[in-house]
Structure 1
């Protein structure tokens, strides 16, 4: 078990240009050893390695919170990284032990190299010099992260007085308190007005050490609510909608970072698992978008063939667990017009339904065909089929046939609506005892 120093001390380490931990105090060296590495080897704690990489990339000192997993507990840390020649010096200024958490992917991967900084975030030191800036906010301010870090916040933001003549940010600096409602505009030629909010940050000595806050366009809409007018029939709770999107985006970024071996060598089967995690999370994110009636991102000329392969890959393991064979046939390339993520979502739903209602050891056939005006993908199973009286009903919201479970009866309704939004359709041909054939049709352009 890693030893934990007491508050009031600091723990330091040095990372060379190759990412190796070349020197470390006892606590850090113990954590490195528990992670399966040692002094002189690559830093095996991705949370700290990410902070060091960012400091090296920006060429300035930065400070970040981090959570590191020890053998039987977690450590909440405040980490500073300072470039020192070709090396980076890490200083852990505060820490707190806590019970291990079950889901740590978001915290473990939080860095510019693995995850995007949450939108609109900024942080300063006690002198209001920027120590952190999200990429989207840097763009809004007409600067870059590297150019802005270390510069006064007011170099990039022009504070605007409220109707009462007050400036909430300046009042908060004087009182060392949180603030909201500070109106500002970028000094880099941008006309967009922003609303700034923030909270004070305490240093290891308990004294005021700056602010951390958020910025958003003054006229920005709140996050899309799933139950706004017109969405009630296909809705999820707006708080749940907002809560799900951010962690899913982080899971995707983290999984892609793992698959790309961003933190060093990795067994190829683990990299493949990470790719599967990313693909599944992207599909779930597209489902959430569809359930809040977000329109597709824009139709374009696409090839349906690789999208069919991606959808098959997402349900392949479920089919294999029941010895169901998925057979693809037809043309190798299938041009059409549509939005790729929406198409994959439709196909995953059709394939998932086919697997769910197919007997063990049967076959599902995926056929690609083209005509004069439409391209089509047909998913045919060898299940029990669907009565004529049910064939239109199952495209309604919350309608299902049988006890198959799965999507609460929303999948086919969403699939048809998405297809209609791309000037296409999802149709069904079936009869009891002879399986079902669902066909996605899209215009060829």
Structure 2
């Protein structure tokens, strides 16, 4: 195997069917040693091992960016894996060393610059079959990020001619060159419009091996309802956004793998716990997205009763810890118009607040009802109630009825989301008699 002399050269390795790094150029071998193993032993670099497993699973070449930690430095690289008999051949390019990165959340708090989480990124092999896609782009296309590998890019996106009648991607494909400004439309029901840019990937032998690039969605205007006085969009610092999304994505992937017993047999109760972890992490991710991404879609038909049950499931562990019972009353099904993700987020916030402020042994109830124009879900608790002077203030950013209950953003986000769907959140409370928060959304 050829030796790699330094940055800019290709660095190669070979992984056998048991996951051992059986061959490696000097630089890759050094990283393996610094991770606590030798060449010939199991590959101890998780990012590269994941590429090898995916190649073996799909039987196609896979390429993606990665950051690998050495003993006292990090390496930013682009790794490509391809089947080679029973083995997987790893080819690393764009090898760039940099100082070690500290904990991402700690860096964000200190205001330091972070390596951005990949956004809108994709990669294909030489036949334009997808080898990698970032989770946010998969969400835009209405597909699962883990389900697109091996699919033709054109099955997910309909390429659109520019004003000059050209399709930059197809023109570049013929010449194996970079391209920009390729218009495309998602083939899913969302019909999202995007612009693609890409650059060619070179294989170990110097041949064309595919494309890697970015997709930028067409900007959408924010509905006026989301910007009413006192309910402007609730921003989050970009550094914190980058710091939070990546580890949460990893938690979801790891929990899904455990729940699906991807790493081997597992007791059913542990698999169920992993499923709960994945569900809670997805909810947390939806909270972050609601603060930085586009507002929810207001027109979809949802079953408010089913979403209430799902929200109860997400809060159940918190309630059990406090000895509080959760109950639901009303219709078994209640069709409404709104956004599934936003409604669950709102109900989880209202239920969580109710549990937090209720005494042990009490009951928190979510009651469903249909009016003339609106469907409603009312969360009632047996807590101390909220003073009249605080009942409007608690819907403002960073405001709380009492100290120590959180950041004071939950109700502000919830009301903004409700109003962006054409609904609202109202409160009825008397001191000493608990509180009743009602989410209303239009009937379907």
TM interval, shorter chain, is 0.5 to 0.7
Partners in 1 of 2:279 and 2:99 — Cα distance?
Answer: 28
Offset, 1:243: 8.5
Partners in 2 of 1:378 and 1:80 — Cα distance?
Answer: 51
Offset, 1:379: 4.3
Partners in 2 of 1:193 and 1:425 — Cα distance?
Answer: 33
User: Structure 1 stretch 49-58 or stretch 416-425: which is displaced more?
Assistant: 416-425
Please tell me whether Structure 1 or Structure 2 has the larger radius of gyration of its CA atoms.
Answer: 1
Q: In the alignment, what sits opposite 1:327?
A: 324
Offset, 1:341: 3.4
The change in CA–CA distance for 1:170 and 1:257 in structure 2 (over 3 A counts) is closer
The change in CA–CA distance for 1:275 and 1:265 in structure 2 (over 3 A counts) is farther
Preserved contact between residue 325 and residue 361 of structure 2 (Cα < 8 Å): no
Preserved contact between residue 123 and residue 132 of structure 2 (Cα < 8 Å): yes
Offset, 1:51: 1.7
The change in CA–CA distance for 1:327 and 1:39 in structure 2 (over 3 A counts) is farther
The change in CA–CA distance for 1:270 and 1:248 in structure 2 (over 3 A counts) is farther
- Pairing 1:225-374 to 2, within 5 Å after superposition: 229-233=224-228, 234-236=231-233, 251-259=247-255, 260-261=257-258, 264=263, 272=273, 276=277, 279-286=280-287, 288-289=289-290, 293-295=295-297, 298-300=301-303, 302-303=305-306, 304-313=308-317, 315=318, 325-330=322-327, 335-337=332-334, 341-354=341-354, 365-368=363-366
- Pairing 1:104-115 to 2, within 5 Å after superposition: none
Preserved contact between residue 121 and residue 214 of structure 2 (Cα < 8 Å): yes
**Deviation per CA, 1:397-429, whole angstroms, max 9, x where unpaired?**
675434456344561572486299587854332
Partners in 2 of 1:440 and 1:284 — Cα distance?
Answer: 24
Offset, 1:21: 1.2
Preserved contact between residue 12 and residue 92 of structure 2 (Cα < 8 Å): yes
User: Structure 1 stretch 67-76 or stretch 334-343: which is displaced more?
Assistant: 334-343
| Alignment TM-score, normalising by the size of structure 1 | 0.63
Partners in 1 of 2:193 and 2:351 — Cα distance?
Answer: 47
Q: In the alignment, what sits opposite 2:434?
A: 436
User: Structure 1 stretch 202-211 or stretch 339-348: which is displaced more?
Assistant: 202-211
Partners in 2 of 1:122 and 1:197 — Cα distance?
Answer: 11
**Deviation per CA, 1:21-52, whole angstroms, max 9, x where unpaired?**
16133655665565566777654433112222
Offset, 1:258: 0.8
Offset, 1:83: 1.0
**Deviation per CA, 1:233-264, whole angstroms, max 9, x where unpaired?**
433478x6999888866555432321123773
The change in CA–CA distance for 1:391 and 1:363 in structure 2 (over 3 A counts) is farther
Partners in 2 of 1:346 and 1:159 — Cα distance?
Answer: 38
Offset, 1:366: 1.6
User: Runs of 5+ in structure 1 lacking a partner?
Assistant: 106-116
Partners in 1 of 2:342 and 2:327 — Cα distance?
Answer: 22
Offset, 1:327: 0.5
Offset, 1:328: 0.7
Partners in 2 of 1:237 and 1:419 — Cα distance?
Answer: 13
- Aligned-residue Cα RMSD (Å) equals 5.5
User: Structure 1 stretch 76-85 or stretch 173-182: which is displaced more?
Assistant: 173-182
Q: In the alignment, what sits opposite 2:98?
A: 98
The change in CA–CA distance for 1:424 and 1:148 in structure 2 (over 3 A counts) is closer
Partners in 2 of 1:306 and 1:147 — Cα distance?
Answer: 32
Q: In the alignment, what sits opposite 2:19?
A: 20
Q: In the alignment, what sits opposite 2:48?
A: 48
Partners in 2 of 1:440 and 1:55 — Cα distance?
Answer: 50
Partners in 1 of 2:304 and 2:64 — Cα distance?
Answer: 43
User: Structure 1 stretch 27-36 or stretch 165-174: which is displaced more?
Assistant: 165-174
State the SS of the aligned residue for 2:325. strand
State the SS of the aligned residue for 2:150. helix
Preserved contact between residue 83 and residue 89 of structure 2 (Cα < 8 Å): yes
Aligned residues: 395
User: Runs of 5+ in structure 2 lacking a partner?
Assistant: 106-117, 143-147
